[in-house]
Structure 1
Amino acid sequence: MSVVAAPAQAAPEDCNPKKGTLKLPASEPWAQKRLDIKNAWRLTRGAGVTVAVVDSGADYHPQVQISKIIDETHTGHRDCVGHGTAVSGIIGARYVAGVPFHGVAPDAKIVMVKQSNKTEGDITKLISAIDDAVAAKPEVINVSVRASDHPQLRAAIQRALDQDIVVVAAAGNVTGPDDQDVPAYPAAYEGVLAVGSATPDGRRADSSNAATPVGVLGPGTDITAPWPGRSYMRGLQGTSFAAPYVAGTAALVRARFPQLTQEQVRRRIIATADGTAGAGTGAGMVNPLLAITAVLPYERGDAPVVAEPLPSALPADAIAKVPPRDETAIGIAMAVGAGVLVAIMVAGGLALLIPLGRRRGWRPGRAS
């Protein structure tokens, strides 16, 4: 999704998002398998964390529960693009038995801040939407929007960071030669966790903008997500849908370790990513499970121990100690053993010699 400067707001057009599907394959989408999300749920599902989504609104969906909607467009909550519904679902769609799709942090609260009715929007609306998101006091903000550098946009992002909010933003998609070498904002601002798009094999998607200083990659090709009309959309592409996988991971980390600052959360997600190489890949694919379990070497002092504690050591008296070597007993035992061995040898010799002597006429000696 992108925003451009617009002098005035046009009247809302007909709200007709693309039609989704009600049927999904029986198997889980590759992104969920690759990130091993359910394994992370053994430690946290994001409860107690609020994620603000600056996007195109959100339609009702059985799996997506929006706790609050702030409408900067004054056109109602409906998602006329489908973008906001999909992003919200990737972050926090509830798990439903028998439904293969679910979000990264299903227990997190989602606040939707609607800033546009189209795939392109107004930069002033985006800035106001980010300020509204900050006012909602979330722990994480997701901005799946590509814009140009603007001093007021920079200031809005800084206000979010100053409020200890993790800001996750899409690195932007390359749609032509004109934007191939141009970084995307707000992702390119310092302190923002910029997210590139990855393919199932973990490499950067060709459409993912390498000019933006990417922190990590998220799944961004052949994505399945909730869609308006209580449906799902398959085959979604782009950094817009990679970013919410990282925002959901940030929600898991903040729920697991609420004492971490936004900077520490960002550094943790980057440090625990699955490494890769090349421009625009950052530290590699985001790893939710490792992000909430790894012990980082630079986390000392008051920093939390983030792995499950090792079993405590056994008490000193739990296992009997080996008694000291008793030399006297060993000597006696050896002497007794040697005597027994000699006795056996003597008895064996007599048992052999006496019969031989008798066969030769030998008799025990008698006194004369």
Structure 2
Amino acid sequence: MRRRLTRVVLATAIVAVTAAVGQGGASAVVPAPVDVGLVPPADRQKAELRRNCKDAVRVPDGPDVPAAQRDLDFQSVWPITRGAGQLVAVIDTGVSPHPRLPGLMDGGDLVGTQTGTVDCDAHGTLVAGLIGASQVPGSGFSGGAPDSRILSIRQSSKAYNTAGQADEVDNAGNAVGGYGNVVTMATAIRRAADQGATVINISEVACKTAAEGIGSGDRYVGAAVKYAVTVHNAVVVAAAGNFGSGDCKIQNPPVDPLRPGADLSDSVGTIASPAWYDDYVLTVGSVDANGSASDFSLAGPWVDVAAPGTGLTSLHPTTGDLTNTTYGPEGNAEPVQGTSFAAPFVSATVALVRSRFPQLSAQQVMARIEATAHAPAEGWNPSVGHGIIDPLAAVTADVPLDDVTVDQSNSVAIDALPAAAPPDHRPRNVAVAATGTLGALLVLGVLASFPLRRRFRSATDRH
């Protein structure tokens, strides 16, 4: 079952802070109590486009299955389920229309005044492809749940900024920043749940150091994920975050071998949201081609499972092709990698499980995926959680779940079986008769020997 930290919370604080320990002033942190009825404010600032939309390298399609999909072996699951009937919300930078996303649905635009099917950053399109890209003849690539549908909600974009606000710049003078925060994220999560999403993928992370605290706006995120899970029975999947990227500057420590039972919340350096709402979120770390935790994957006591996050191929954002590389703001090539792209593999697996077991609750689906993951030697660690997901095991394994009656039988009428031929007892009868005859002869022989014995003894006595 799910590994849950014992939470000691203060009702008046987002985080509980103890004396600074470890790197970067790490301190014990837990989310504040979650109020499911806390709704984010409806009004938001206007945003405007500041930078050119991202492009990507066009990769020729072919019959080879990309390494990550091959390692997870989604194809072995498709004879059982392909995710039909599942609506997967992608809360991201938008999802561009693509021939291999025929069921793409517009969930709305929280950045500009367009639709959720506008993607200036390529990010959301890549995520959606890994979840639900359809199969086509001659192509080895497809999403993990190719019969699922994608609901796109544009919640953030690095190409936009708040209207009237000057762009931030980095040390090299490059414009940074973008639009989207924890309040718009919370709004998007609630919108996805209200629109009927059975799976909600969030490949975006808000990071702050433990010393800073995540900020009061994060309470809306906690309320939104609890609302999605407990009110609408949606499974929320979130990326763990990329260490060294954005505000995720401090790596959280591993398990101390001298204190294996210590509560890791006592040494957290970076808080990641919505990942840290562990009771309501399936948080995903990244592994490399060797199955080891990726160097960039942000660890934490809330990490639940892991999936491949490097060497990935997905849908091109502006053509009908594929891509494995995007271009940064300065034209630099950036490979498709990160916990952002490990999360959609888990969302695809959730869609497969929900299609196969529609009677399971959201939290039972989460527990099932954790229970069937390939666990590390210690059983759980803050980098990969319960281990690398196994889509086939998640769909087929016999996983006991409390308070769940699993009835998968589908009764159908069939013709009566033909009457069985009467058994042939002749060999048995012959064997029994022969045995009886031999037994009778043996008895007669013994009885006939008695007079001879008496005569032989009498003759002996006379001598």
Number of residue pairs matched by the alignment:
324
CA offsets 1:244-264 (integer angstroms, 9 cap, x no match): 000011011111111110011
Q: Which amino acid aligns with 2:315?
A: P
Separation (CA, whole Å) in 2 of partners of 1:327 and 1:232: 77
Whether the 8 Å CA contact 1:12–1:75 is kept in 2: the answer is no
Residue from 72, 79, 82 that aligns with 1:45: 82
In 2, the alpha carbon distance for the partners of 1:291 and 1:208 equals 23
Check the 8 A contact 2:182/2:220 in 1, yes or no: no
The 1:324/1:202 distance shift into structure 2, 3 A limit, reads farther
**Which residue among 103, 108, 124 is the counterpart of 1:70?**
108
1:258-277 mapped onto 2 (5 Å cutoff): 258-277=358-377
The answer for unaligned runs of 5 or more in structure 1 is: 1-6, 307-313, 337-368
Q: Does 1:178 align with 2:249?
A: yes
Q: CA deviation at 1:85?
A: 0.3
Per-residue CA distance 1:87-144 (angstroms, 9 max, x = gap): 1111100001112210011111110010112285322221211121111111110011
Aligned counterpart, 1:351: none
Larger helix percent: 1
The gaps in structure 2 that reach 5 residues or longer are 1-43, 159-176, 208-213, 253-269, 325-334, 410-416, 442-463
- Residue number among 227, 234, 245 corresponding to 2:316 in the alignment: 227
What is aligned with 2:387? 284
| Alignment RMSD | 2.9
1:1-368 superposed matches below 5 A? 8-24=45-61, 26-65=63-102, 66-76=104-114, 77-118=117-158, 120=178, 121-148=180-207, 149=214, 150-162=218-230, 163-175=232-244, 178-181=249-252, 182-189=270-277, 190-230=279-319, 231-234=321-324, 235-277=335-377, 278-298=381-401, 302-304=405-407, 323=428, 329-330=434-435, 332=437
TM-score (norm 1): 0.80
Distance, in Å, in 2 between the alignment partners of 1:42 and 1:18 is 36
Whole-Å Cα distance in 1 between the matches of residues 430 and 236 of structure 2? 68
Structure-2 change in CA distance of 1:211 and 1:110 (3 Å): same
Listed one character per residue, the Cα deviations across residues 149-183 of structure 1 (whole Å, up to 9, x for unaligned) are: 41111111111111211000001110168331213
Question: Identity rate of aligned residues, in percent?
Answer: 39
Bigger shift: residues 244-253 or 171-180: 171-180
Displacement after TM superposition at 1:321 (Å)? 9.7
CA distance in 2, matches of 1:92, 1:260: 21
* Residue identity in the other structure for 1:135: D
Shift in alpha-carbon separation, 1:249–1:326, aligned structure 2, 3 A: same
Q: Contact (CA 8 Å) 1:171, 1:183: kept in 2 or not?
A: no
- Superimposed CA distance per residue, residues 187-232 of structure 1 (whole angstroms, 9 cap, x where no aligned partner): 1102210011011222211111112521111110111111212232
Query: How much does 1:303 deviate?
Result: 2.8
Which structure has the greater CA radius of gyration? 1
Distance 1:324 1:335, change over 3 A: closer
Shift of 1:20: 2.3
SS at match of 2:108: strand
Distance across 2 between alignment mates of 1:262 and 1:318 = 52
Distance 1:297 1:196 in 2: 25
Closer, same or farther in 2 for the Cα pair 1:212/1:184, shift >3 Å? farther
